[in-house]
Amino acid sequence: MMLLDGKKLAQEIKEDLKIRVANMANNGVETSLAVVLVGDNPASHTYVNMKEKDCHDLGIRSLRYDLPADTDEATLLGLIDQLNADEGVHGILVQLPLPKHLDEQKVIRAIDPAKDVDCFTPVNVGLLATGKPVFAPCTPAGIVRLIKANGLEIAGKDVVIVNRSNIVGKPLMHLMLMENATVTIAHSRTADLKEVCKRADILVAAVGRKEMFDESYVKPGAVVIDVGVNRTPEGKLAGDVAFDKVAPIASAITPCVGGVGPMTRAILMENTVRAAENR
């Protein structure tokens, strides 16, 4: 069984990005990422802090805008307009979820697609769907990179993705199709989910249910990608995959901690550097 070490690969990606950031700095371009955080969601604050650290480690200028939870839509859209117009800002990220009174899709549509390093705008989603992405969404791109970097074949493989969200399932489907896989999107309404999963050569679990996927969902020899991050009653992290039960029969598997998560952050940094290079 091969352990797919996202932490190690993410570090290798970051070492390359440091060089690219330094080269641009030598040419007078300071790579910068603006992150907008509305409200006091503890998980969002944690994510933003981690992104700030990544920027600092790579020499990327991090601009952080903390707005109160009762910020009105006009104020938020006005800030995005300012960041769009600022030539010194290369990437813009609005941390989701937003407070319920704000229209998430309207806010996402306001971001300049050339600075949309999360790949959420309709323009970038459309480019991805037609196989010509400028940026690839961070978690799906991280998954594909992790599989390929370990010498595992995707072309011709039966891929089952248990997630249909705009952040993971749908964009990952497009990326897997670009790699010539045969892709099935499964979800809570899928009939005989266990049987669908058991035919997968590559199984991607992203449902947000602690250790739901045990050995009964997995074909022997499959590659298993665990995207889930859940808290146990004891406060420990657990994935969607029952690692100890699945690892003995999988050919390759990601750990809950140090698997997909570090890759997501590395791809965000890579998209930011690419946005700066494109400008």
CA dist., res. 253 & res. 250, Å (int): 7
Domain identity same for 158 and 94: no
Domain identity same for 169 and 245: yes
**Taking the mean position of all CA atoms in its chain, how far away is CA 68?**
26
Domain identity same for 204 and 143: yes
Answer with the one of 60, 78, 112 that is the final residue of a domain: 112
Domain identity same for 102 and 160: no
Domain identity same for 142 and 55: no
User: What is the per-residue pLDDT for 239?
Assistant: 94
* pTM attached to this predicted model: 0.95
Assess if residue 276 is contained within a domain. no
CA dist., res. 54 & res. 269, Å (int): 8
The CATH number linked to 44 is: 3.40.50.10860
Residue 235 confidence (pLDDT) above 90:
no
Domain identity same for 256 and 143: yes
Residue 203 confidence (pLDDT) above 90:
yes
Instruction: Report, as an integer, the average pLDDT of 206-217.
Output: 96
Domain identity same for 152 and 235: yes
Instruction: Report, as an integer, the average pLDDT of 211-236.
Output: 93
User: What is the per-residue pLDDT for 220?
Assistant: 98
User: What is the per-residue pLDDT for 62?
Assistant: 97
The three-state secondary structure class of 263 is helix
User: What is the per-residue pLDDT for 231?
Assistant: 84
Residue 43 confidence (pLDDT) above 90:
no
Assess if residue 146 is contained within a domain. yes
Q: How many domains does the chain have?
A: 2
User: What is the per-residue pLDDT for 31?
Assistant: 98
Assess if residue 76 is contained within a domain. yes
Strands 61-67, 202-205: pairing is unpaired
Domain identity same for 151 and 245: yes
Instruction: Report, as an integer, the average pLDDT of 17-38.
Output: 97
Assess if residue 7 is contained within a domain. no
The three-state secondary structure class of 160 is strand
CA dist., res. 3 & res. 1, Å (int): 7
Domain identity same for 77 and 188: no
User: What is the per-residue pLDDT for 19?
Assistant: 98
Percent of the chain, pLDDT > 70?
A: 100
Assess if residue 225 is contained within a domain. yes
User: What is the per-residue pLDDT for 253?
Assistant: 98
Instruction: Report, as an integer, the average pLDDT of 106-125.
Output: 97
User: What is the per-residue pLDDT for 136?
Assistant: 92
Residue 191 confidence (pLDDT) above 90:
yes
The CATH number linked to 206 is: 3.40.50.720
Range of the domain at 247: 138-261
Percent of the chain, pLDDT > 90?
A: 94
Assess if residue 181 is contained within a domain. yes
Assess if residue 15 is contained within a domain. no
Task: List the catalytic residues.
Answer: 51, 95, 118
Domain identity same for 100 and 165: no
